[in-house]
Amino acid sequence: KARVFKFGNKTADGNSTMKNLLGGKGANLAEMSSIGIPVPPGFTITTEVCTEYNLLGKEAVVALIKEEVEASIANIETQMETSFGDKDNPLLVSVRSGARVSMPGMMDTVLNLGMNDEVVLGLAQKTNNEQFAWDSYRRFIQMYGGVVLGMKPASKEDIDPFEEIMEDLKEKRGIQLDTEFTVQDLKDLVYDFKRKVKKRTGLDFPTDPWEQLWGAIIAVFNSWNGDRAVYYRNMNGYPADWGTAVNVQAMVYGNMGDNSGTGVCFTRDAGTGENVFNGEYLINAQGEDVVAGVRTPQQITKLGSQRWAELAKIDEADRRENYPSLEELMPSIFNELNTYQDILELHYRDMQDMEFTMQNGKLWILQTRNGKRTGAAMVKIAMDLLKEGMIDEKEALLLIEPNKLDELLHPIFDPRALKRANVIAQGLPASPGAATGKIVFFADEANKYKSSILVRIETSPEDLEGMNIAKGILTARGGMTSHAAVVARGMGKCCISGAGALKINYKKRTLTVDGHEYHEGDWISLNGSTGNIIEGKVATREPELGGEFAEIMKLADKYGVIKIRTNADSPKDAKVARSFGAQGIGLTRTEHMFFELDRIKAMREMILADTVKGRKQALEDLLPMQRADFEGIFEAMEGYAVTIRLLDPPLHEFVPHQLATQKELAEDMHISLQAVKNKVAELEEFNPMLGHRGCRLGNTYPEITEMQTRAIIEAALNLKERGIICKPEIMVPLVGTVKEFEAQEQIIRTTATTIFEERNDTVEYLVGTMIEIPRAALMADLIAEKADFFSFGTNDLTQMTFGYSRDDASKFLPIYIEKGILKVDPFEVIDQEGVGQLVKMGTEKGRVSKPNLKVGICGEHGGEPNSIEFFYNTGMDYVSCSPYRVPIARLVSAQAAI
């Protein structure tokens, strides 16, 4: 089988459908090459080789691919008319990672590979540019040193060992920018860099290009298992066995002088979705300079440049003179780039994120991929592409990443509070959103406060975990395509970048703006949509969900089959869920209602009562409160079914466990403290989750079931009198045997009949059960003969099928996932193989007895995209999820059916 795929000169061995094998970058390079986009020639070593490497180690893998790699290098040599390691006419290459999905900055890259003391001279002569040759050499040692030889900063307060040498030299020479180094400076840097390598690693810097190449290839494979990559993979649920491909490509140079440069561009705005070509570039620079945010880049289009100048408060003359757009500076290159961006967007039928380099006036495209974007941009782009006729309705729906919709549903700054806000500075609106939190300066301290804002001069991929934890990210340097900006947009996290007015001192842990000093722990707020940095806390409010969001949701409902209900315990939640498009309630957990202050007392009295009479008395106090709850919920869900579950948790959850509260209760109830203590001790269980809970409560204390049924039925009758239609569905929890259900059903029906007689009126209602004990799934045919509906409680079903306690699993699950024993947390994503069998069997058996049996699911999995798809395929009627997941579930419902 082929392990190495070549591309370049308008041909390629691979194509864009081969992402799993070639990685996203490799597949797209092949595709671009085939459709005539100028990409530097190169080759891709497949992701399978990465997996082979992990199994077999370096030597065996090198032996496996040596011949193919050598032949592929020869192919580049032919196309570029250069020769690898040749001192007169050298070929230099880049070595980059590329997994099947883009993982920006998470893995390693080495540029300018093939350099040594002789090659640098040849390159200088050939290009007639000593400055460029030596700058490339020092960059190579720096990258190779960091990536392959492990030359990293010693601690977080330290800077990169090579940067340190450069800073020292700059200070000595009284210069500020890398571009100000003279040829002699660069030669000195190369010399000092190599000495540093020798000192730190004990080894000479490798001079043989082939040794360099193999070192870099292996380093890229290793970076798949680096901390950053592993964290990113886990965060996104990408399995370890995907591996990364390695792309080796002829170098083209953006740092050859003023007629060269490099940049990143997007076919549409990744923050807002607006259909404007945009991006950033730097003259006389290599790619890493743009994303690393070391120099603040310039805008590609004139429009972008003008918008940027307005934010940066730079006047038009100054802008044209000092920060011209590429469109103005190099119109013909801009036009060519503009043509390619159109071709690529049309070809891939999605917004593209491209990297390019201009070498001596020739444009090369280094990469294209479907661009990362915010949730808002995602929705707008999908609808715009649909309206432009580029894609159809189904494709538009498939362009929506369900989980990203979440971003649109969360609070924004209250406009009234914003009016009073004290804006202390402004940066680039790199990723929209509203964030308020306490200042932290180091990524690994982001969890120091409940809400933190990570404030950095610039971020690097090492900061990923902290960026994810922080509520927002603020950087002093870097543009719209800096690491911070790209990663934040991918996470949907509010980010402001390039706020030049900020002076950050890591040692003192201070942020200074206009002479005002802020410290770690001080509150600040970020408005990621305007770039405003605001002192203190700013109030937030619910977002408005009109426009494209409403349009895409309407489309989703057109194609969606499985219905979406919500889990809601209060009228407020029910209203929110309904505004998000919920079609009924799949689970109301009644116990939550008993925790409110005035009720917990009555509840405790009920529990502490020693006689049925005493219990009934206490329950009578609870009845009107519970009835009022149900009236509110029914009203909020008018016209839709509402499933109400009878009391489920073990009673000991309601009694006080602290001495002070026990005393209070004893006084209130005029009983002895000892009596309270005795009762608490009596309710103590070794294993409450498998103890006296669920229908075991209703079966041992039938008066509880009676009271709850009465509250439900009376609430429904009361609403009926007011002309409001409600459809109660009474649900019995934790059923394991048919008899358990039957006994409860009888109480419910008898109570309802009594009330109908009392009131001389009736309502329709259903009595069904949860399927959450494995035995219930096994006995589903018998249970279905009695029950009107099933609702799978996949939380308990997962707990009991795996035998993992819901309350304790967090102690070992992360380790299981890290070790690959489990791929994902089964409490989050339904385990289709195991627990899924019970769900399927339960549904099928149930429908053997009752072909029209209504079946749903109300465990947490009801809001998880993969699980929803599975439930759809199982033939369920509905999934029920928390209110904020409802739009996500509606979308997945459509995607599953398409």
Q: Which residue from 90, 793, 846, 883 is in contact with ligand PEP, where contact means CB under 6 A? A: 793
How far apart are CB 648 and ligand PEP at their closest, in Å?
6
How far apart are CB 862 and ligand PEP at their closest, in Å?
8
Nearer to Mg ion, 650 or 728 (CB): 650
Which of these segments, 231-239, 568-576, 787-795, 841-849, binds ligand PEP (CB under 6 A)? 787-795
| Residue 82 · residue 89 · CB < 8 Å | yes
Q: Which does 794 bind (CB under 5 to 8 A by kind): Mg ion, ligand PEP, none?
A: ligand PEP
Site for ligand PEP in 753-782 (CB under 6 A): 772
Nearer to ligand PEP, 181 or 741 (CB): 741
Nearer to ligand PEP, 194 or 806 (CB): 806
Q: How many angstroms separate the CA atoms of 594 and 363, rounded?
A: 69
Q: Is 569 in the site for ligand PEP (CB under 6 A)?
A: no
How far apart are CB 60 and ligand PEP at their closest, in Å?
48
652-676 in b/e form (b: 16+ CB < 10 A) is bebbbeeeeebeebbeebebeeeeb
Closest CA to 552 of 212, 132, 887: 887
Which of these segments, 9-17, 135-143, 306-314, 792-800, binds ligand PEP (CB under 6 A)? 792-800
Angle at the Cα of 464 from the Cα atoms of 244 and 222, rounded to 5 degrees: 30
Judging by beta carbons within 10 Å of its beta carbon (0-12, 13-18, 19+), is residue 741 exposed, middle or buried?
buried
Q: Is 587 in the site for ligand PEP (CB under 6 A)?
A: yes
| Residue 118 · residue 194 · CB < 8 Å | no
| Residue type (1 letter), 114 | G
Q: Judged by CB under 6 A, how many residues of this single chain contact ligand PEP?
A: 10
Q: Is 476 in the site for ligand PEP (CB under 6 A)?
A: no
What is the secondary structure of 530-561 as a DSSP string? TTEEEES---EEPPP--HHHHHHHHHHHHH--
Q: Is 842 in the site for ligand PEP (CB under 6 A)?
A: no
Q: Is 31 in the site for ligand PEP (CB under 6 A)?
A: no
Which of these segments, 108-116, 222-230, 620-628, 790-798, binds ligand PEP (CB under 6 A)? 790-798
Q: Which residue from 796, 831, 864, 869 is in contact with ligand PEP, where contact means CB under 6 A? A: 796
Out of 265, 495, 858, 881, pick the active-site residue.
Answer: 858
Q: How many angstroms separate the CA atoms of 255 and 282, rounded?
A: 9
| Residue 27 · residue 67 · CB < 8 Å | no
Within 10 A of 346 (CB to CB), how many other CB atoms are there? 12
483 is catalytic: yes
495 is catalytic: no
Q: Is 859 in the site for ligand PEP (CB under 6 A)?
A: yes
Q: How many angstroms separate the CA atoms of 432 and 524, rounded?
A: 16
Element (H, E) at 45: strand 42-45
Nearer to ligand PEP, 61 or 582 (CB): 582
Within 10 A of 879 (CB to CB), how many other CB atoms are there? 30
Which of these segments, 38-46, 76-84, 148-156, 791-799, binds ligand PEP (CB under 6 A)? 791-799
Nearer to Mg ion, 370 or 805 (CB): 805
Q: How many angstroms separate the CA atoms of 642 and 630, rounded?
A: 9
How far apart are CB 861 and ligand PEP at their closest, in Å?
8
Report residue 791: phi and psi, to 5°: -135, 120
Which of these segments, 28-36, 153-161, 793-801, 810-818, binds ligand PEP (CB under 6 A)? 793-801
How far apart are CB 729 and ligand PEP at their closest, in Å?
14
Q: Is 384 in the site for ligand PEP (CB under 6 A)?
A: no
Given CA atoms 197, 464, 457, 488 in this order, what sign does their dihedral have? Answer: positive
Q: Which does 589 bind (CB under 5 to 8 A by kind): Mg ion, ligand PEP, none?
A: ligand PEP
- 206-225 footprint of ligand PEP as x/- string (CB under 6 A): --------------------
What is the secondary structure of 795-862 as a DSSP string? HHHHHHHHT--TTTGGGTHHHHHHTTSSSS-TTTS--TTTHHHHHHHHHHHHHHH-TT-EEEE-SGGG
Nearer to ligand PEP, 490 or 768 (CB): 768
Closest CA to 505 of 530, 526, 481, 476: 476
Q: How many angstroms separate the CA atoms of 321 and 323, rounded?
A: 6
SS3 875: coil
Q: Is 795 in the site for ligand PEP (CB under 6 A)?
A: yes
Nearer to ligand PEP, 535 or 828 (CB): 828
Q: Which tokens go with 569?
A: 């315990």
Q: Is 589 in the site for ligand PEP (CB under 6 A)?
A: yes
The residue sitting closest to Mg ion, measured at its beta carbon, is 796
How far apart are CB 796 and ligand PEP at their closest, in Å?
3
Q: Which residues bind Mg ion (CB under 5 A)?
A: 772, 793, 796
Q: Is 801 in the site for ligand PEP (CB under 6 A)?
A: no
131-159 in b/e form (b: 16+ CB < 10 A) is bbbbbbbbbbbbbbbbbbbebebeeeeee
Nearer to ligand PEP, 229 or 732 (CB): 732
Q: Within 13 Å and on the Cβ side, how many CA atoms surround 318? A: 7
Q: Which residue from 648, 703, 706, 729 is in contact with ligand PEP, where contact means CB under 6 A? A: 648
How far apart are CB 890 and ligand PEP at their closest, in Å?
20
How far apart are CB 337 and ligand PEP at their closest, in Å?
53
Mark out the alpha helices in 405-537 (DSSP H runs).
415-419, 464-469, 483-491
Closest CA to 217 of 98, 133, 115: 98
How far apart are CB 780 and ligand PEP at their closest, in Å?
16
How far apart are CB 792 and ligand PEP at their closest, in Å?
7
The separation between CA 739 and the C-alpha centre of its own chain, rounded to angstroms, equals: 45
Out of 265, 483, 695, 726, pick the active-site residue.
Answer: 483
Q: Which does 858 bind (CB under 5 to 8 A by kind): ligand PEP, Mg ion, none?
A: ligand PEP
Strand partners, 264: 280, 355
Q: To which residue do tokens 């001790």 refer?
A: 681
How far apart are CB 836 and Mg ion at their closest, in Å?
17
Nearer to ligand PEP, 474 or 587 (CB): 587
First to last CA, the chain: 35
Q: Which residue from 301, 367, 794, 874 is in contact with ligand PEP, where contact means CB under 6 A? A: 794
Catalytic residues: 483, 858
Instruction: Give the binding site for ligand PEP (CB under 6 A).
Output: 587, 589, 648, 772, 793-796, 858-859
